[in-house]
Amino acid sequence: MNVDVGTAWTLIDESAVAGAMRGSTWLYPVVEVVHIAGFSVLLGSVAMFDLRVLGFGRSVAVRAAGSMLLPWSMMSLFAIVPAGLLLFSAHPNELAVNPVFQLKLLLIGLAGLNALSFHGGVYRTAATWDPSAPALAKVHATASLGLWLGVITCGRFLAYS
């Protein structure tokens, strides 16, 4: 079956889940809370790790900080992404063409690529980063902080534009 993208958004818009998101008194705010609580954990853990890579909090080794913090970054996605999809489902046609929403998705994609290339690349040598991480690692960490702040800024605008 050939369903074009606009039709797909309309199917989501007319679904029972989307109707409940718009119409139920509590569902939408509860899902918002899950989304926000989730990205608080994501941003908190990512920022603490990035700051450690940048040289703050040297009493904890980089790899120890990573093994403590980064599993929470991953776990938080199980709250953020489903909640985000539900929020999207309430108004898919409007959001899909909203440039702020498109920018937000792009920044999330770039943040993901940044993390992948960090972990697949320079982080492999983290055991030898004493006392200071290499410049490339700091570039990744700075990019991560900037990208995630951009994601939050876009999200804030989607909620209140």
> Which residues here bind other proteins, judged by CB under 8 A?
21-25, 27-29, 90, 99-100, 103, 106, 150, 153-154, 156-157, 159-161
Q: Measured from the CB of residue 20, what is the shortest distance to other proteins in angstroms?
A: 10
Q: Measured from the CB of residue 76, what is the shortest distance to other proteins in angstroms?
A: 22
Residue 8 neighbours by CB distance under 10 Å: 12
Residue 96 neighbours by CB distance under 10 Å: 16
Q: Give the helix/strand (H/E) hosting 42.
A: helix 27-53
Q: Measured from the CB of residue 19, what is the shortest distance to other proteins in angstroms?
A: 9
Is 94 or 130 the residue whose CB approaches other proteins more closely? 94
SS3 content of the chain, % helix, strand, coil (to 5): 85, 0, 15
Is 55 or 150 the residue whose CB approaches other proteins more closely? 150
Is 23 or 57 the residue whose CB approaches other proteins more closely? 23
* Cβ within 8 Å of residue 144, ≥6 positions away: 46, 50, 111, 114, 115, 118
Length of the chain: 161
Q: Measured from the CB of residue 92, what is the shortest distance to other proteins in angstroms?
A: 14
Q: Which two tokens stand for residue 111?
A: 């943040």
Is 25 or 128 the residue whose CB approaches other proteins more closely? 25
Is 61 or 85 the residue whose CB approaches other proteins more closely? 85
DSSP E strands, 1-106: none
Q: Measured from the CB of residue 153, what is the shortest distance to other proteins in angstroms?
A: 6
